[in-house]
Copies of this chain bind each other. A is one copy, B any other.
């Protein structure tokens, strides 16, 4: 409650005008002033989050595909709500880089160019290697628990690979990387990495069939898990980095080769 004792009139400058900021009023629910930061922190379901989830899922699954255009009115009608919650959901999606809202014109789903994919990969490489490092630096029981979890997912990938089930393989691969990110104990890092992976999910799915058999991934994942289990933070980070770099170096030439300008 130390804030309440401080001088309680600040000034907010807006368009050159100086406005006084009001005295503080403390309420019980303000006890937790530190960041919670979980995406939509268990708050009551609202139409905004409904719209957000529906649209995000539609974009992820290529139902509302890149290049598609729509108006807020139209989406609102389709979702059975008014324009306001749709508008606010679109703001969030724009913030995450999935759509673009053009004033007075409409909203469009963004495509990813090969250059965009290059950007996305670099960000993922940076964040994911840090995540691997953080996990490997944890105390032993925690570390081993996560290593076991990752190992199980990797086993699924292996069987999917043996049966040549590409979709199952892709699902397990996604799970592996999401687990790596979500278990690192850094909610901010997890949030950013998940957002950027959502951006590239669609492209990954579309290029899945272009690639040769993905035998290396399982082995590289195993190497990462081993480093985590042994608590070798630097090694785990390096291996995670190398894994993603290899994947990137295999994928990007394919995009150019097949002339996929936007996906």
Q: A63 at the A/B interface (Cβ < 8 Å)?
A: yes
Asked if A106 and B27 make an inter-chain contact with CB atoms under 8 angstroms apart, the answer reads yes
Asked if B26 and A69 make an inter-chain contact with CB atoms under 8 angstroms apart, the answer reads yes
Q: Which B residues are CB-close (under 8 A) to A103?
A: 43-44, 46
Q: A253 at the A/B interface (Cβ < 8 Å)?
A: no
Name the distance in Å between A193's Cβ and chain B's nearest Cβ.
9
Copies in the complex: 2
**Per-residue contact bits, chain A 111-143, to B (CB 8 Å; 1 contact, 0 not):** 111001001101101110110001000000000
Residue of B nearest to A110 (CB): B35
Q: Which B residues are CB-close (under 8 A) to A69?
A: 24-27, 30
Also in contact, A67 and B123, with CB within 8 A (given A54-B12, A95-B95): no
Asked if B33 and A110 make an inter-chain contact with CB atoms under 8 angstroms apart, the answer reads yes
Q: A257 at the A/B interface (Cβ < 8 Å)?
A: no
Residue of B nearest to A134 (CB): B122
Asked if A70 and B188 make an inter-chain contact with CB atoms under 8 angstroms apart, the answer reads no
**Per-residue contact bits, chain A 57-87, to B (CB 8 Å; 1 contact, 0 not):** 1100001111111100010001110000001
Asked if B63 and A12 make an inter-chain contact with CB atoms under 8 angstroms apart, the answer reads yes
Instruction: Show 14 residue pairs from A and B whose CB-CB distance is below 8 angstroms, ordered by the A residue.
Output: A12-B63, A12-B78, A13-B63, A22-B74, A27-B105, A33-B66, A34-B112, A34-B262, A36-B100, A92-B95, A123-B127, A123-B192, A125-B130, A126-B130
A-side residues, CB < 8 A to B, are 3, 10-15, 19, 21-22, 24-27, 29-30, 33-37, 43-44, 46, 50, 54, 57-58, 63-70, 74, 78-80, 87-88, 91-92, 95-97, 100, 102-103, 105-106, 108-113, 116, 119-120, 122-123, 125-127, 129-130, 134, 186-189, 192, 196, 262
Further contacts, 15 of them, CB under 8 A, given A10-B65, A21-B78, A123-B127:
A3-B65, A10-B63, A13-B63, A21-B64, A21-B68, A22-B74, A27-B105, A33-B109, A35-B110, A35-B113, A95-B96, A120-B188, A122-B186, A123-B186, A126-B127
